[in-house]
Amino acid sequence: MPRVIIWSECQYTKLALKEIISRKLPYVNEVISYDHGDEVNLYAKDYLIIDPSGGGFHRCYEFLRENMSVLDPERILIMSSAVDMLMLELLLKKEFKFLKKKNELPVVVTSVEQFIQLQGTTLNKQAFNYNITRMEEKVLVMMMSGLSVTSISNILKLSVKTVSVHKCNSLRKIGVDANSSSALFFLHKHAVGNRIGS
């Protein structure tokens, strides 16, 4: 029997997903709410529903990075904004299943049911080779967690200029010109722009 592990910093998301799974998928053996710092042994057959939204993106990314050797990407559902999923795919060089968090409840219920039954979605295997450096990756992940360039420079003990260079380089490598209006559109459209700073 499958286990479903729910990773989210939002207690309401965890409770709602547990309720959906218990009502619609009674054959699921166990639903585990994973909290930061919990000790949970993960297995390749586990299903993982992950919500990286808000300030939890950094912890979500670290959790996935630490466990990607165990987890099957086909059994991972990212429940978030499109930009969170895009960044996780780019940084982890994997393609995940995706569910917009703001969907209506019937859509969420159907999508979760199809996901756990491994129906209705296929993965397109593609190579993510953007040559993003470790420091650019770190800055990108911190930006996604809502930190400004100034905050990142304080945390990493780097100058604001250096952090800005890493930010611009990483955005350019993933195909977003950091100096253009398209970058602002991209970032604001996905609710990241207000948190980045220059």
In a shared domain, residues 144 and 93 = no
Name the domain boundary from 116, 144, 169: 116
User: Using alpha carbons only, how large is the chain's radius of gyration in Å?
Assistant: 17
Measured CA to CA, the distance from residue 139 to residue 58 in angstroms comes to: 10
Looking at residue 160, its pLDDT comes to 92
Angle of helix 181-189 relative to helix 82-92, nearest 10 degrees, comes to 110
- The residues pairing with 47 across neighbouring beta strands, listed in sequence order, are 4
In a shared domain, residues 151 and 77 = no
In a shared domain, residues 109 and 138 = no
**CATH number of the domain residue 79 falls in:** 3.40.50.10140
How does pLDDT run along the chain (198 residues), one tens digit per residue?
Answer: 578 999 888 888 888 888 888 887 777 878 888 776 677 788 888 899 998 876 678 888 888 888 888 888 888 999 887 778 888 888 888 888 888 878 888 888 888 888 888 665 544 445 556 678 888 888 878 877 778 889 889 999 999 999 989 888 887 777 665 555 444 444 544 444 333 333
Can you give the residue range of the structural domain that contains 188?
134-196
Question: Regarding beta strands 3-8 and 30-34, do their DSSP bridges make them parallel or antiparallel, or are they unpaired?
Answer: parallel
Looking at residue 159, its pLDDT comes to 94
In a shared domain, residues 21 and 76 = yes
38 burial type by CB count under 10 A (0-12 exposed, 13-18 middle, 19+ buried): exposed
The number of distinct structural domains making up the chain is 2
Give the torsion sign (CA, 155, 158, 159, 164).
Answer: negative
Looking at residue 128, its pLDDT comes to 58
In a shared domain, residues 94 and 145 = no
Compute the C-alpha angle 54/56/62, nearest 5°: 145
Looking at residue 188, its pLDDT comes to 46
Looking at residue 192, its pLDDT comes to 42
In a shared domain, residues 100 and 148 = no
Looking at residue 56, its pLDDT comes to 76
Question: For residues 56-67, b (16+ Cβ closer than 10 Å) or e, as one string?
Answer: bbbbbbebbeeb
Looking at residue 181, its pLDDT comes to 45
Strands annotated E in 70-173: 76-80, 97-100
In a shared domain, residues 108 and 138 = no
Looking at residue 161, its pLDDT comes to 93
Looking at residue 132, its pLDDT comes to 80
In a shared domain, residues 68 and 35 = yes
